[in-house]
Structure 1
Amino acid sequence: MRTTGWTGIGGATLMAAATACSPLARHWYLTYGATGEETALTLPGDDLLPDPDIQSTRAITIAAPPSAVWPWLVQMGGGRGGAYTYDWIENLLALDVHSADDILPQFQHLAVGDVLPLRPKGPGMRVEICDPERTIAFRSTDGTWVWILHLTTRWLKARLISRNRILVPGATWPRRLVGRAVMEPGSLIMERRMLLGIKQRAQWSAPSAEALLRRT
């Protein structure tokens, strides 16, 4: 019975891994919320890592103008405004993340060249592009990760695109398998929560659409 039980668990694990690695599942993980046009779009900062091993493009619509979203983006980071995702998971990795529910004036002056720490020991994220109310692009100091946050406007609403371009130098096939079966689905869970967290906060702090219409 015990052997049969372990065999069943092993078979279920292999089946789950195979499903997670299937092209359809990977497409969903890596393009959640994004249109085909957004997935194919060349964003400012793509050239910072020209040939990534992995690229994800995820997006969300926010009922607020880009000007109301931007303050929440520029204050992100450990020891700053946080990541608006599952803080308890981030802090299991010693990332010192505490998501703010307010706009923090002391963190509103992000500039090219600023380096935000990811963890006590490890590469930081250097600001490579900071185009107000449009684009922030970070590149890890070891050159293996580029993260782009890009804003557009659609019918008085902001469209936030989050793109990750990742290089996995010298990865063995077991490591790539774990990445596809575990890390890619896991990244969707965290990033989806982040996008929703930004949306909720920006909509709380944004002027109403009616007030925007009166100004135009």
Structure 2
Amino acid sequence: MIDRKVVTGKVWGATEAERDAPQPCDELELGGLQADRAISIAAPPCLVYHWLCQLRVAPYSYDLLDNWGKRSPRERDPRLTELEVGQRFMSAFRLESFVLGRHITLVSGRIAVTYAVRPERDGTRLVIRIRCGATRLVGHLLAFGDVFMARKQLLTLRELAEAEARRAVTEPG
């Protein structure tokens, strides 16, 4: 049977347990639509979290569409891990809450997003939950469009974190 949540853009890569688990953005009580995305990354959770902090300066998705053609940085800036509530992320979001090494929760209008980092075997599970308090139709349209952007973002973050993890293993000292 085809899962309607996947077809409508509400789910990409997230397990049923991940979809059922509470996330910090749920506490904002926006109601409306919930969309979940997730990916496994062969890199330590702290490194994946540090890459999430890079979202302060770029979306790491389709740069032509959502970064005005400017390429998202491919090297981490360690200063971006110094977080404070209220900071801007991806130009449209502000940092609502965070727990170092565990999650960041962003808000823009009636949209809230939590990026949660969880240890998984020898790597990390990165789970994104989106809460949208818009009307049902608008929420579904946003989720359907976002699934493509979030998928690209997750794949890019995985590529960058895994490449850095491999370099850390092969480079001396």
- The two structures have a TM-score, normalised by structure 2, of 0.84
- Residues 137 and 164 from structure 1, CA distance in 2 versus in 1: closer, same or farther, beyond 3 angstroms? same
| 2:12 is the alignment partner of 1:44 | no
| Alignment counterpart, residue 75 of structure 1, candidates 54, 70, 73 | 54
The match for 1:151 is 117
Structure 1: segments with no counterpart, 5+ residues: 1-22, 119-123, 212-216
C-alpha distance in 1, partners of 2:160/2:100? 18
- Residues 115 and 90 from structure 1, CA distance in 2 versus in 1: closer, same or farther, beyond 3 angstroms? closer
1:153 is matched by which residue type in structure 2?
Answer: P
| 2:68 is the alignment partner of 1:102 | no
By percentage of residues, which structure has more strand?
2
The match for 1:127 is 95
The match for 2:12 is 32
Q: Number of matched residues?
A: 168
The match for 2:87 is 114
Q: Secondary structure at the match of 1:76?
A: helix
The match for 2:144 is 185
User: For the aligned residues, what is the CA RMSD?
Assistant: 2.6
Give the CA deviation at 1:51.
4.3
C-alpha distance in 2, partners of 1:97/1:164? 25
Q: Secondary structure at the match of 1:84?
A: coil
| 2:25 is the alignment partner of 1:57 | no
Contact 1:85 1:190 (C-alpha < 8 Å) held by counterparts: yes
Partner deviation per Cα, 1:178-204 (whole Å, 9 max, x = no partner): 653x54322111110000000000001
What is the 5 A alignment of 1:157-196? 157-168=123-134, 171=135, 176=137, 180=140, 182-196=141-155
Structure 2: segments with no counterpart, 5+ residues: none
C-alpha distance in 2, partners of 1:116/1:195? 16
C-alpha distance in 2, partners of 1:53/1:45? 12
2:26 is matched by which residue type in structure 1?
Answer: D
Structure 1 stretches of at least 4 aligned residues deviating more than 6 Å after TM superposition: 208-211
Contact 2:53 2:80 (C-alpha < 8 Å) held by counterparts: yes
Q: Secondary structure at the match of 2:82?
A: coil
Give the CA deviation at 1:52.
2.0
Contact 1:83 1:97 (C-alpha < 8 Å) held by counterparts: no
Give the CA deviation at 1:162.
0.5
C-alpha distance in 2, partners of 1:208/1:38? 30
The structure that has the greater radius of gyration is 1
Give the CA deviation at 1:164.
0.5
- Residues 24 and 155 from structure 1, CA distance in 2 versus in 1: closer, same or farther, beyond 3 angstroms? closer
Contact 2:105 2:113 (C-alpha < 8 Å) held by counterparts: yes
Contact 1:85 1:193 (C-alpha < 8 Å) held by counterparts: yes
The match for 2:165 is 206
Give the CA deviation at 1:117.
6.2
